[in-house]
Structure 1
Amino acid sequence: MTVVPKIKTYHFLPYKYGSELLLDIGRIETLDNYVLDNTLHQLSFYEVIFIEEGAGTITLNENKILINPRTIIFTSPGQVRCWEIEKEVRGYTLFFEKDFLHLFFSDELFLYRFQYFHQYSRPTEMQLSATSFKKCLELLYGIEQEFGQLQNDSSHLIRSLLYQLLVLLNRYYAEVHNVQRDTYVHLDFYRFRSLLEKKFADNHGTEAYSKMLNVSSGFLNKICKKFSGLSAQQMIHYKLISEIKKQLCQNKSVKEISYEFGFSDPSNFNRFFKKFTGTTPQQYRKKM
């Protein structure tokens, strides 16, 4: 019998500074309890990592990312990760709950407007030029300074700096990875990305999402192809496989997982998984 280690989940501490504040910042090399080893773990919040020095890798949902100076890494809630450090990592970590921005902007799609979060087919990292990286650090310094002298209106100033930083990062990401900038993206594409995060376990086909969005399947495929390079069905499959792999790293039976993801029986689940990965769920678990 294969014993699968349990993945530890880390949650945000909203009252660390007394009153509720859904964002935090720190130096990776000095932050208390920051995990930098090969323990499998996941976060229930968003994190952006700014590497100034270091070497090794961080693995996000099987995607191994090289750690180099001026690398920026984006982690979305629920991504399974682990580190393999070869040289001490120094830099900043910025992490926040979605409500820190969501409630202020009254836009539930806000964080789906950024290409680097909830990404399953494109890189979740980028390496910047010295000039671009410095611009990011300047905004981080501003956030860090405000944390050093918190006042009643600090959350507003910090939120504005975070917003600037996220938009700047989105521009850099579009340039580095040659993807569409936010300005040109159709709203229904963001709505689809948001629905996919919530409904993927029960809805495996394009038709279901088309009905929820009140658009035709053809139109949904068209905007997905335009703004992601993938069809709507491919995006659904990427999401499903990503989440199934995560569950296979937990100590659950394949039968349990198959029903959890809406498959009629384990044999259909096995065929689906093998079609997209080349291995059965059992083989994948054994390999992991």
Structure 2
Amino acid sequence: MGSIRPIRTYHFLPYKYGLELLLDIGHIETLKHYVLDSTLHQVSFYEIIFIQEGSGTFTLDENKMSIAPRAIIFISPGQVRRWEIEEKVKGYTLFFDKDFLHLFFSDELFLYRLQYFHQYLHPAEMHIAERSFGKCLALLQEIEQEFEQIQNDSNHLIRSILYQLLIVLNRYYADVYDVQRDTYIQPDFYRFRSLLEKRFLQDQTVETYSKMLNVSPGYLNKICRQFSGSSAKQMIHNKLISEIKKELRQNKSAKEICYQFGFSDPSNFNRFFKKFTQVTPHLYRKKI
């Protein structure tokens, strides 16, 4: 079997406009070598895509979604994606580094409170009504106008508009998928989401996370089921499987991935992967 080509990774360019600005906006139709890249690629930052026109499919990790008017797609750092265009796509893409918000807001959990990022249970996209989509476009156009006349205080104004847009999108997402809208209750759940993203390689048991959060394993499972529909253990396993699949799509051997993820030997790794996917790592990679 031929070697697997490594997936291209796009990184943020903070000094594109001269001063450091950890957010950017663009028109999809003008970014053909980035947004409309038909090869597998990933980004190291957060991105939200707003489709005004066009058709086709957009694959994010293993999830295929329809490209259609008023579709909004949410991409978290490290997710692998691919465009397959049928009719010309028009719309906006908004991308930003987490520090764009973290440096100025005291809430380090803010991006984990948003239901649509780091999502493993519900879709990472939604289709909304024309009026709601229009409200999003109006905010995007405000950001775009500020980019046309960048000033020393532009980052503050853009950050305030982004903050408003993210909250509005969270409300729409909660209504579409009937999930918790108020993300400022039960902060332990969002702390767990944050810890899981950062520590899944080192810590893979409910007991370890419950100790870090200073709560009981039973309580952690309870709030995870309440806010995600899955137990804490299922959330850990979903994260592991998602990341293992990503590594299998890169040019890494199953043995290398096995030890990277802390499995004692390849046979345990194979059993774990097959339990959740019904195929071995080797067959999964062959299927790709």
Identify whether the pair has TM-score above 0.5, normalized to the shorter chain.
Answer: yes
- Whether the aligned pair in 1 keeps the contact of 2:113 and 2:184 (CA below 8 Å) is no
Report the Cα distance in structure 2 between the residues aligned to 1:28 and 1:183, rounded to whole angstroms: 31
Report the Cα distance in structure 2 between the residues aligned to 1:52 and 1:107, rounded to whole angstroms: 32
The one-character-per-residue Cα deviations of 1:1-54 (angstroms, maximum 9, x if unpaired) are 342121000000000000100000010101363241321100000000000001
Map 1:62-101 to 2 at 5 A: 62-101=62-101
- Whether the aligned pair in 2 keeps the contact of 1:2 and 1:286 (CA below 8 Å) is no
Gaps of at least 5 residues in structure 1 are: none
Q: Secondary structure at the match of 2:29?
A: coil
Map 1:112-123 to 2 at 5 A: 112-123=112-123
Instruction: Tell whether 2:140 aligns with 1:135.
Output: no
Question: How many residues get paired?
Answer: 288
- Whether the aligned pair in 2 keeps the contact of 1:115 and 1:170 (CA below 8 Å) is yes
The one-character-per-residue Cα deviations of 1:213-233 (angstroms, maximum 9, x if unpaired) are 111000000110111111001
The one-character-per-residue Cα deviations of 1:194-250 (angstroms, maximum 9, x if unpaired) are 000011112222111111111100000011011111100110011000000000001
- 1:102 corresponds to which letter in structure 2? H
Gaps of at least 5 residues in structure 2 are: none
Report the Cα distance in structure 1 between the residues aligned to 2:59 and 2:77, rounded to whole angstroms: 15
- Whether the aligned pair in 1 keeps the contact of 2:113 and 2:183 (CA below 8 Å) is no
Report the Cα distance in structure 1 between the residues aligned to 2:125 and 2:206, rounded to whole angstroms: 28
- Percentage of identical aligned residues: 73
Range moving further from structure 2, 199-208 or 92-101? 199-208
Instruction: Tell whether 2:243 aligns with 1:273.
Output: no
Q: Secondary structure at the match of 1:150?
A: coil
Aligned to 2:146: 146
- Whether the aligned pair in 2 keeps the contact of 1:37 and 1:85 (CA below 8 Å) is no
CA 1:233–1:212: 2 relative to 1, 3 Å: same
RMSD: 1.0
TM-score norm. by structure 1 comes to: 0.98
- 1:23 corresponds to which letter in structure 2? L
Aligned to 1:158: 158
Report the Cα distance in structure 2 between the residues aligned to 1:121 and 1:236, rounded to whole angstroms: 12
